[in-house]
Amino acid sequence: MGMLQAGNNYQVMPYRDEHLAMDFTQQAVILDSERMTLTRKEYDLLALLVQHAGEIIPREALLMQVWGYSPEIRTRTLDVHVRRLRKKLGGYADQYIETIFGIGYRFQPFHAPRFFRPQVVQPAMAVGA
């Protein structure tokens, strides 16, 4: 059981854009009308990112939410999972999942403007001690 669902049962609207659709109640992800096969962790990670589309989510937050890791733990598993997600997202990968250097990642809806680099929306560890 992923860390995600632990007491986290609020209603979440399905996501949909030109290429990607995600139904959180069914845990179904569809890319260009084909069903994506995701492992548990891959799904949890993508779900978390998509549910916060447009927001930067710090690494620590992702590691906390999906893995239950506290900030001290040093691991590269997040990077590896991001990589596999991107692979499965095919050509849209970098369009969808942005790396925010030194902070974390952000999922962007397909058409979202991408001029710049908005910063972390808030979280405690985003920038400072």
Partner DNA sequence: GCGAACATGTAAAAACATTGTAAAAAGGGG
Partner DNA sequence: CCCCTTTTTACAATGTTTTTACATGTTCGC
Q: Please give the DSSP secondary-structure letter assigned to residue 92.
A: G
Determine if 88 is a binding residue for DNA (CB under 7 A): no
**Least CB distance from residue 125 to a copy of itself, whole Å?**
9
CA distance 22 to 29: 5
- Between 27 and 77, CB nearer to a copy of itself: 27
CA distance 104 to 16: 23
**Least CB distance from residue 29 to a copy of itself, whole Å?**
8
CA distance 107 to 104: 10
Q: Which residues bind a copy of itself (CB under 8 A)?
A: 1-2, 4-8, 25-28, 30, 34-40, 43, 101-102, 115-122, 127-129
